[in-house]
Structure 1
Amino acid sequence: MKAAASRGAHGHPPALQRRTLLAGALASGAALAAPSVFAQAVYPNRPIRALQGFAVGGNADAIARLVGAEMSKVLGQPIVVESLAGAGGTKAAGEVARAAPDGYTLLLATGGHSVAGALQSKLPYDTVASFQAVSTITFFPFLIVVRADSPWRSLADLLPAARHAAEGVAWGSAGVGTTHHLAGELLAKSAGLKLLHVPYRGDAMATTALLGGEVPFIIAPATAVEAHVRAGKLRALAVTGAQRWLGMPEVPTVAQQGVAGYDVRSWAGWLLPAGAPKSVVQRLNEATRLALLSPDVRGRLRQMGGEAQAGTPDDMHTLVAQELRKWTQLARDAGIPKL
């Protein structure tokens, strides 16, 4: 009887019973805790903040919102776009460079990111090393346009006039230090032209100046001038990219009109703070690629003058670094002072 009394209800000694119950409780607790730990490990598990450095409603803002909304469907968390305009996009870039590299702060960078690195001397970050590239989103060329009543009907007409003008031919852009500005400087260097840059405060003002006859031509994105070209007020002479723009396939490229190797396109893409985990970078790259497969996204990017084009993180890293070197050298050759 004593031996029987010393055993529990299941015939096991009390000490063994206690150990069994304790092990079961620990296993049960671990099972209950596992979903919580797993949820914390899954990325993303909260909204992602995406900064862009230009005005609300502009191209950069529209691209960030369009692609971010589609990526949110893939990621299961919203991408909340914020405008932090100022200093040509460098204010937003600085904010992202200082952020925690946890994948919850993105930068919608544009081609101006490399231009700023080439021209600005006191940036609070390194254009390449302070960021982790994720993927490009879109590339878009610029158009060289004149008034409809201009005697120049092609770039082949403009080039000799600029070469032989004693004081150079004036032209307008959205401002000093923009990609448009450097596109013109590269044209002058590559074709041996005399060009006099007239900077305006934005594409709208440059377009108005051209329509009013203040300058004979400007370099501008399609979004700024396409409607005027369609209306017969302006004429597009050339596309600055390596290929013709699908929105105006009848307009030849600069290279096709005698300036071999000329290729200037701006772009937009995602950057993270340096040090972001590889798994986060891969997740965002995948979400970007899937978002750009959407016919609606591709169509709307084309309406903005660009073509959807994702890439690997390494591809984008190389792009930023190559453009930084290219524009730094051009600024040096053209005598453009650091800002």
Structure 2
Amino acid sequence: MRRRAFLAAGLGLACTVSTVPAWSQAYPDRPIRIYQGFAAGGNADTIARVVGAEMTRTLGQPFVIEAQTGAGGTIAATTVARARPDGYTLLLATGGHAVAGALYNKLAYQTVSDFQMISTVTYFPFLIVVRADSPYQSLSQLLGAARADAKGVSYGSAGVGSTHHLAGELLVRSAKAEILHVPYRGDAASVTALLGGEVPMIIAPPTAVMTNIKAGKLRALATTGAQRWSAMPELPTVAEQGVAGYEVTSWAGLMAPAGTPRPIVEQLRGAALKALQVPDVRARLEDMGGEARGSTPEQMTAMVSTELQKWTTIVNDAHIPKQ
């Protein structure tokens, strides 16, 4: 009887152990892959590599960064949304994630519900920039010219449906001024167009224009953030120049597939937050125009949901063709 009882107890223990979820065992035990949807060497790629390298030190496994470019980042997002929710496949999403949700008619995923948010990583504004010899000395002066001549002012962006483009459309509606959008294929092309006099202004991230600003070839009129940008504290915001309530701040953050267990999410979030406290990481993000800022998964979910609603309204109001 004792032997039978011992065997039964052992069998029960074996059953209990066999039902312990895989994620409760040592995680991570192999490399973690971060997908990002833009060109290698660009902002998203650099952010993923800077933060991923530091998270490697905390979690003890390499973070492998992989670019899946095209369709505004939606290819990479699709890969992650369809991946196993085991913590080994992540997405470095940017503000374009919410823009794509507003702009694309048919995506293979739901912008919010098909992802488990982990933490934001950085926030950064756009800059409204003119040539150094431009007659416009302030954004309010440029907007005044646009109101006086509906066809006299245009702006360049990185392309139709880019966050830059929608930031311009939001400016047009908020300021009640007619400004023609001229799309280019990427930031480099829009900067070249501005320098060549094809357009009087562009909206671009700091990394795309700071070299020419420092060289005296371009001049910033405003930052699109809610507060002044710490790297150029003398530069007023759009709202400070008469466009009340205007704010466009892009962001980058980590996401996993929906259903990723909370203990794994918390491990990843903890490693990300620790990375953001490292002076070199913060300095690298600041050099790119960003502010290192983490969040809870719930805060990030709320932020992305709000961004999706805002850009959906702008796309519909501006009659921007859905992709």
**What TM-score range do you get, normalising by the shorter chain?**
over 0.9
Higher-Rg member (1/2): 1
1:8 alignment counterpart: none
**How far has the Cα of 1:38 moved from its partner?**
9.4
Q: Secondary structure of 1:133's match?
A: strand
* C-alpha separation in 2, matches of 1:167 and 1:213: 16
4+ residue runs over 3 A deviation = 37-40
Matched-pair identity in %: 64
For the Cα contact (< 8 Å) 2:126–2:224, is it kept in 1?
yes
* C-alpha separation in 2, matches of 1:235 and 1:86: 31
1:4 alignment counterpart: none
1:138 alignment counterpart: 122
2:272 pairs with one of 267, 288, 309: 288
2:58 pairs with one of 74, 86, 96: 74
1:208 to 2:202 alignment: no
Gaps of 5+ in 1: 1-14
Gaps of 5+ in 2: none
Tell me the C-alpha RMSD between the 2 structures: 2.2
1:54 alignment counterpart: 38
* C-alpha separation in 1, matches of 2:177 and 2:252: 30
* C-alpha separation in 1, matches of 2:26 and 2:175: 53
Q: Secondary structure of 2:229's match?
A: coil
2:95 alignment counterpart: 111
Letter in 2 for 1:193: A
When residues 165 and 39 of structure 1 are mapped into structure 2, their CA distance, relative to the original with a 3 A threshold, is closer
Q: Deviations over 1:66-85 (max 9, x none)?
A: 00010111111111111111
Q: TM-score, normalised by structure 1?
A: 0.89
For the Cα contact (< 8 Å) 1:174–1:199, is it kept in 2?
yes
* C-alpha separation in 1, matches of 2:180 and 2:168: 9
* C-alpha separation in 2, matches of 1:167 and 1:39: 59
* C-alpha separation in 1, matches of 2:258 and 2:23: 24
2:180 alignment counterpart: 196
1:88 alignment counterpart: 72
Q: Secondary structure of 1:270's match?
A: strand
Q: How many residues align?
A: 316
* C-alpha separation in 2, matches of 1:261 and 1:77: 44
Q: Secondary structure of 2:204's match?
A: strand
Q: Secondary structure of 1:266's match?
A: strand
1:329 to 2:316 alignment: no
1:269 alignment counterpart: 253
2:155 alignment counterpart: 171
1:228 alignment counterpart: 212
> After the TM superposition, which residues 4-23 of structure 1 pair with which residues of structure 2 at under 5 Å, given as runs?
none
Letter in 2 for 1:133: M
Q: Deviations over 1:75-113 (max 9, x none)?
A: 111111111111110000000000001111000000000
Letter in 1 for 2:212: H
Q: Secondary structure of 1:209's match?
A: helix
For the Cα contact (< 8 Å) 2:23–2:86, is it kept in 1?
no
**How far has the Cα of 1:166 moved from its partner?**
3.2
**How far has the Cα of 1:40 moved from its partner?**
7.0
For the Cα contact (< 8 Å) 2:122–2:292, is it kept in 1?
yes
Q: Deviations over 1:160-202 (max 9, x none)?
A: 0011113251110000001000000000000001010000000
**How far has the Cα of 1:125 moved from its partner?**
0.7
* C-alpha separation in 1, matches of 2:315 and 2:304: 16
